[in-house]
Structure 1
């Protein structure tokens, strides 16, 4: 892997991708207390956040998980309004034997359907590949068509169903650094 970049905030035409801050805790709670958001995250039954203390603790954990560039789990802020739309992440997959990295996103329902996930994820992919990642994976629940569409918009290949990193089946998408550079 090449020398990693610093995890400096990423800017797109409409978005600022930056670390979660403690003054974002109420918005994080609003996002993560919604089963319509959390049902797509991780394994098993959705876990909904219960209170602001939990949001503050999560913000601290996300800062720790984002300490090794180019990996991060950050807020997606709409530049025009300053409102946090959701999160985007680039992290090592659970139980990864070869250090495989996944990209992911989740947005508040009031921010969905506007292209924010694709825009933020594209910025994050560019960041990850510039930081030396050879490839990036995405895993979705089998019935998460909106996230699968984002994967396709990002140029990721649908590799079918896997049961490798998470309990149960996931739809597996992949793009390599070489493919990304050829498109951009």
Structure 2
């Protein structure tokens, strides 16, 4: 299932399409991107066939809104900058949902991750989520700054959902409502 499209001033968040498999491969075939994903050795996407399978998996994981994986398209250029997602954390006992993002290096430093994540938080809370977490690799300063701009609280280092130390950030629906009311 394709996730619902969301719009921001500069971005359209929508499902990935198979004609974008080369862009996904170019992004996830880079260690500077994948070093921050998962909890083991960086996984490097190998070929277009794997990119197509990943796009299919993204669609499957988007079958139950507000859970999903969105392509982040820059409206002015039509280029996909990366992905943003709301997903259950692995080995989650209480159904905790995380927000995450990964962008192509040619899209870093433009505020796209923050803009896309803000839209996704709004969508998630409007859809009934009571809280959203972010877990980042310790030392991923760029993602830590995005979490701060999102209004997420730093709750320290945990080793709960992944087999490595991760920095935990949290925002509740009530905190989001207060932040949005300003």
2:45 aligned with 1:49: yes
Rounded to whole Å, the distance in 2 between the matches of 1:58 and 1:133 is: 26
Task: Give the aligned CA root-mean-square deviation in angstroms.
Answer: 0.9
Secondary structure at the counterpart of residue 110 of structure 2: coil
Rounded to whole Å, the distance in 2 between the matches of 1:154 and 1:20 is: 24
TM-score between both structures, scaled by the size of structure 2: 0.97
State the number of aligned residues: 179
Rounded to whole Å, the distance in 2 between the matches of 1:47 and 1:56 is: 16
Rounded to whole Å, the distance in 2 between the matches of 1:10 and 1:24 is: 18
Rounded to whole Å, the distance in 2 between the matches of 1:138 and 1:100 is: 10
Matches within 5 A, 1:33-182: 33-182=29-178
Q: Deviations over 1:34-71 (max 9, x none)?
A: 00000000111000001100000000000000110001
Q: Which residue does the alignment assign to 1:31? A: 27
Rounded to whole Å, the distance in 2 between the matches of 1:74 and 1:35 is: 21
Secondary structure at the counterpart of residue 122 of structure 1: helix
Greater relative contact order (CA < 8 Å, ≥ 6 in sequence): 1
Rounded to whole Å, the distance in 2 between the matches of 1:16 and 1:88 is: 11
Tell me the CA shift for residue 7 of structure 1.
3.8
Tell me the CA shift for residue 8 of structure 1.
1.6
Rounded to whole Å, the distance in 1 between the matches of 2:40 and 2:9 is: 36
Tell me the CA shift for residue 168 of structure 1.
1.4
Tell me the CA shift for residue 74 of structure 1.
1.2
- Unpaired segments of 5 or more residues in structure 2? none
Rounded to whole Å, the distance in 1 between the matches of 2:57 and 2:3 is: 16
TM-score between both structures, scaled by the size of structure 1: 0.96
Q: Give every structure 1 segment of 4 or more consecutive aligned residues whose post-TM-superposition deviation is greater than 3 Å.
A: none
Rounded to whole Å, the distance in 1 between the matches of 2:105 and 2:134 is: 21
